[in-house]
Structure 1
Amino acid sequence: MPHPRLFLLALGFYTRLPAPQALDYKRLPEAAVYLPLVGWLVGGLSALGFYLADWLWPQQAAVIMALVAGILVTGAFHEDGFADVCDGFGAGFDKQRILEIMKDSKTGTYGMLGLLLLLSLKISVLSSLPAAVVPWLLLSGHSFSRLPPLLIMRRYDYARIDNSKAGAAVFRPSGNNLLFAGSLALLPLLLLPAICWLAILPVLAANGLLGRYFYRRIGGYTGDCLGASQQFAETIFYLSMSTLWTFI
């Protein structure tokens, strides 16, 4: 069963928020089960950023400020992974080349375009929804979108033989781990209308397809793939919520 101190490890690794230094970093891989709880904090701060900015500026500007807040809290951790995946899978033709490109610290054309389109989608969708619901969507989106990476970790193997990526990527969650993380991920959805739970289905379906795509191309996943999975899931979640909101 996950230990509370693992949450502090997750907090220190996945965000730039202060965390105690005297922690057992050998257990960092296990801390991934607390990703949804980290999402509570990131989503909560993003929601606060939106709420405050919405008092001063148009909703679109407030949405951008909310995204900025989330990026500042995480250090663009997942966005960086998404950009690397766009570059690697966009320009690479075989496993070795894809992994080499993703390991490169430079962001290429595919990564830049991918991030631009991803952020544009988030801004467009969240700006079109009622301002009163956006903070709750940010909280739910950040929390739930951190469950799909764990599902990929559960099903597939780590693709880098040399284990050069962050140690937190090499971990296969147990059924109990997923039950624990899933409970944390879904809890914020209780703050939304019941119909919003339907947004879970397209997110899980898209994540399943993404995991299979990674498997076909590189035989598994990398840390960058997990970051891309989170960003992909968050965006699909907002798009699904936008569709469902027409029935509310």
Structure 2
Amino acid sequence: MRYKHLFFDLDHTIWDFDKNAEETLHELYHTYKLHDLGLHSANQFIETYTQNNHQLWADYHLGKITKQVLRETRFSKTFIDLGISPEHIPRQFEDDYVNICPTKTNLFPKTHETLSYLKNKYSMHVISNGFKESTEMKIHNNGLGIYFDNVIISEVVGINKPDKAIFEHALSLADAHVSESMMIGDSIEADIRGAQNFGMKAIYFNPEGKEAPEDVGHQIKCLSDLTEFL
């Protein structure tokens, strides 16, 4: 099959969410002097936050929680999990994180080289479950806009992956047929299952080599692998 349209996830697939979050949280750890609150390890704080954030995003993908709940919960739960009482949680921590993190520019290896190569062969698009302002900032600050014809953001559309409706909207916007379209993303539930249930082929971006379900056929560890696969 000769594909014509490639649809990419953004966070954890192109934009290295965990690395950018870690960089931001190290800065905020020192800014807020969290050591003085009794949090003696920035790495422990980051590890606890990462676990909480991943679970909350999984719930958000499935529509179990709202954006507001996600943002209100991820740091408050992290602080409480680490023994900080609610009255001592820094009130502006979430706002500072939201303002700083999207300005970070860590991408996965070979991102620009791969997208530049593929741009000459395919029409490319983004389907992101991220939030409008931060998604647009990430794309702008990293010079990614030149590669994509459309950026579909769930907060704008009002539907999250894996709902079939956001894939239908994306293909309609791109004037693409499902048989000539491919989804690339890191989330089995949101990206791979979402695309498969819509009838679209999908490639699992799996840089850490995690064990995947048997029916997830195509996997890549580096974005540059796409140049050989497609």
- Fold agreement, TM-score > 0.5: no
Which structure is larger by alpha-carbon Rg, 1 or 2? Answer: 2
Structure with the larger strand share: 2
Please give the TM-score of this superposition, normalised by the length of structure 2. Answer: 0.29
